[in-house]
Amino acid sequence: MRYKENMEQSIHDIAKHMVAKGKGILAADESTLSCNKRFAVLGVPETEEMRRQWRQLLLTAPGIEEFLSGVILYDETIRQQTDQGVPFAKALQNKGIIPGIKVDQGTVDFPGHRGEKITQGLDGLAGRLQEYYAMGARFTKWRAVITIGESIPSQECIQKNAEILAEYAKVSQQQGFVPIIEPEVLLEGDHTIEKAEEVTTNTLKTVFVEVQKAGVDLQGLILKSSMALSGKDCAEQASSQQVAEATIRTFKNSVPKDVAGIVFLSGGQSPRQATENLNGITRLGPHQWPITFSFSRALQELVLDLWRGDPAKVGQAQQAFLKRLRLNAAALAGRYTLDMEEK
């Protein structure tokens, strides 16, 4: 069923559209700082206009509606328009893609807990959501970060982030949005996959205790999760089969069956690694929740490298974007192979 903005839809309806079979969600919600850092590496001018052109390249690429159910936007992006003067949110709606919005305001140090962060942005959230709703957004996203290191994460940090995520989700649903909660266990570090599984399981269990305590409607809620991965500096890197088994085991031990769906962040994995691991997870199915991708860099990295701010390269870059979407759609069907990267 195609998403139509003029339909009266419940958050349950919207959540179902967001995890429609064979489609994923593009995370195009990089902050201005993060986007500029990527531009700087490639020599792209770090201006609002170049950020608009980059987002336009992605959001107006012909055919993306075959592979995307939703796109997470950033505050700057939802206020921008195409060259033809069409707001980006409306351009997505015209393709049958649901616009969403990142609503957290970044992380700050967790007092008394060295090396740990909590996420801010609850102040004034309801008012901001009302504005975003008028702009066409129908789902929200909030990211918390959990770091694995010496003596961390602390249970206090996990608990505080869980409480904040629950409050954000509750306010979002009250304003008519489907919330995506994203408690990301970071890839940085030399931890084993076993440690990642342990921390992710504990984090998700803690989050869902608080989410249910807050009265959040699980059927109108999406989980955006890390996969269970070896730390990027770990001497022994887990195989895609090991990642798949550990990840699904984590979910079975921590995620309530009523949650509307689970989407994966790529979290610093290479495009190929993220797609290969997604494929491995799919092949262990069927699962009790709809499972799909919500990648950022794993979809955009090669595309940005091709474009580099050159208007003449837009078409070529859009084709590269469609290829990555197609490969991840194949992974959702368990049909991805490395040979497909070369075709």
> Catalytic residue numbers?
182, 224
- The answer to whether residues 1 and 17 touch, using CB atoms and an 8 Å cutoff, is yes
Q: Is 240 exposed, middle or buried (0-12, 13-18, 19+ CB in 10 A)?
A: middle
The C-alpha R_g of the chain, in whole angstroms, comes to 19
**Distance in angstroms (rounded) separating the CA atoms of residues 332 and 24:** 9
Quickly list DSSP for 63-118.
Answer: TGGGTEEEEEE-HHHHT-B-TTS-BHHHHHHHTT-EEEEE----EEE-TT-TT-EE
Phi–psi pair at 105, nearest 5 degrees:
-115, 35
CA atoms within 13 A on the CB side of 333: 11
**Distance in angstroms (rounded) separating the CA atoms of residues 140 and 102:** 6
Nearest Cα residue to 310 out of 36, 48, 43: 43
Q: How many helices (H) and strands (E) does the chain have?
A: 12, 10
